[in-house]
Structure 1
């Protein structure tokens, strides 16, 4: 017995034991896992990626005219659908996925493993980023090929598209993680998150020209990120002359950046203070 113990104690660790996975590799591995799980869920793929494309096909086919001189409805509508797509994958999908995983005990088991907690969230962030980029490219491709969408023609507009998308999807992702704690069970998650997402779309200028909405509705929408994401994206895809049609008489990109940044901070604070790894019945 003593010989066996000594041999075990002095045997050098194997190659697998010596290898340590770094934090970046851990995050990327979790991200690949999250993406595979997302793609295996036909409901998630259809609702998150196919729904915005379907809306463009329907609305752009019905409303073929101009909303003002030189601005076709398609050009206006695509900005709202890009913002909606980012909100759907960042906010709605996480607000539904996480309660389901919590209800199934996945989060409780992860919490009991040596894996750092941040790896779970890193995987979600990577999944949201990859799906968000893919969805945006798909929307632009469909709108350009089928409805003659005019893509940004300057580096400044492409840069604006980038930072509005990054700030917007970051705010939506953090809010989605925080909002996931409101659902009492995985079964009720969709019923809790989907109405919020739909209401924000209707009052934020996605389906209608924003200034045509009642004043009180515009004021309510201005409290949330989606309205500002749509406004920032309009500055990318619509001519400068359209800025006079905005409520403030301009695209107000400085205010867009400020509001989205504030929502990133709010979302982070809510995540840190409200996120739950277990259901209430687990304690």
Structure 2
């Protein structure tokens, strides 16, 4: 073979070898940027996922203006702690269940799976988006609670640390549950309708609006099986006076069980997501 025929071949081979398949880190960073830009540009989605807990806090804050029975503590402080947990679930479980279903049915996930991008980058991208939006949601709810209802900030390092790990475990457990839940959503039209009922029902039976002692035992037992109740319980420890632990079932904050339940949900959610996740929608070829 002559030099003239070898040169183009060598250049072509060199060009191919220079086109490296993107690594997981660089691909993940790209997906994180894409997910965040898309989320904040879609004001309707942002309003639905981030403003709903804020509006609920304002509406119910105007209703629950009594004192916790037997104390001088404003009942709204008990309620706001639970609403912060609702904010975490809104920006993770509900948001991801809807957005992933839309991505799947529009064929985006299928195209990403067929590209050189590592598949894990998609999950890292949506999880980091959930974490960022959750942090913003928690800050907004905390600031509004402090300004409007005199919500006290965590009083010591232990409570600040508890706030961090409860939110992080809440994000991981609810995000993975949301990813797994998409397997039950048949199409894009059903996304919001399928994701919203469990989100609302769990608020009612998890001690967000009412103390757990006021919830029928059968419903409370169901609430104990899911992350929202335990997030709310951990956040009540963060924001409420220590003596209010006596109002909790068993008379304790039970932070060890909070960590265990959220940790178990993280593991179970990861396993279910890995087993059930669908890369192709029903109408995607």
Q: CA deviation at 1:107?
A: 1.1
Q: CA deviation at 1:282?
A: 4.9
**1:28 matched to 2:9:** no
Summarize the alignment of residues 173-184 of structure 1 with structure 2, pairs less than 5 Å apart: 173-184=175-186
Report the counterpart of residue 115 of structure 1 in structure 2: 117
Structure 1: any 5+ residue segments left out of the alignment? none
| TM-score, scaled to structure 1 | 0.93
| d(CA) in 2 for partners of 1:110, 1:23 | 13
Question: Which digits, 9 at most, give the CA deviation of each residue in 1:117-151, with x for residues without a partner?
Answer: 00000100110010000110111111111221111
In structure 2, do the counterparts of structure 1 residues 183 and 6 end up closer, same or farther at CA, with 3 Å as the change threshold? same
SS in 1 for 2:68: strand
Report the counterpart of residue 44 of structure 2 in structure 1: 43
Q: 2:212 aligns with which of 210, 213, 233?
A: 210
Question: Which digits, 9 at most, give the CA deviation of each residue in 1:184-217, with x for residues without a partner?
Answer: 1011111111111100111111122222111111
Q: CA deviation at 1:74?
A: 2.1
Structure 2: any 5+ residue segments left out of the alignment? none
| d(CA) in 1 for partners of 2:19, 2:221 | 58
| d(CA) in 2 for partners of 1:53, 1:132 | 13
In structure 2, do the counterparts of structure 1 residues 234 and 5 end up closer, same or farther at CA, with 3 Å as the change threshold? farther
Contact 1:60–1:73 at 8 Å: present in 2 too?
Answer: no
| d(CA) in 1 for partners of 2:99, 2:216 | 34
Contact 1:80–1:207 at 8 Å: present in 2 too?
Answer: yes
| d(CA) in 2 for partners of 1:19, 1:273 | 30
Report the counterpart of residue 8 of structure 1 in structure 2: 8
| TM-score, scaled to structure 2 | 0.93
| d(CA) in 2 for partners of 1:212, 1:46 | 32
Task: Supply the RMSD in Å over aligned alpha carbons.
Answer: 2.1
